[in-house]
Structure 1
Amino acid sequence: MEIVKIRMQVATAGGSTVPVTTLGIARQLGFRGLYRGTAATLLRDVPFSLLFFPLQALLAQKAQWALNGSREKPSTLCVLAGSTVAGMVAAASVTPADVIKTRLQSSSQPTPAYSGVVDCAKRIMSTEGPRAFFKGTVPRCLTMAPLFGIALMMYDMQQKILGW
Structure 2
Amino acid sequence: MSIPVQFYILGILFLLHLPAMAQKKVESKAYGIMLDGLLSDTVPAVSVEQLAKMDDVVTLDSRSKEEYEVSHMKNAIWVGYEDFTLDRVPENLKNKKLVVYCSVGARSQKVTTKLLEAGYNNVSNLYGGIFEWINQNHPVYNDEGQTKKIHPYNFVWGLWLSEGEKSYD
Q: TM-score range by the shorter chain?
A: under 0.3
> TM (normalized to structure 2)?
0.23
Higher strand share: 2
Higher helix share: 1
Q: Taking CA–CA contacts closer than 8 Å with sequence separation of 6 or more, which of the two structures ends up with the larger relative contact order?
A: 1
> TM (normalized to structure 1)?
0.23
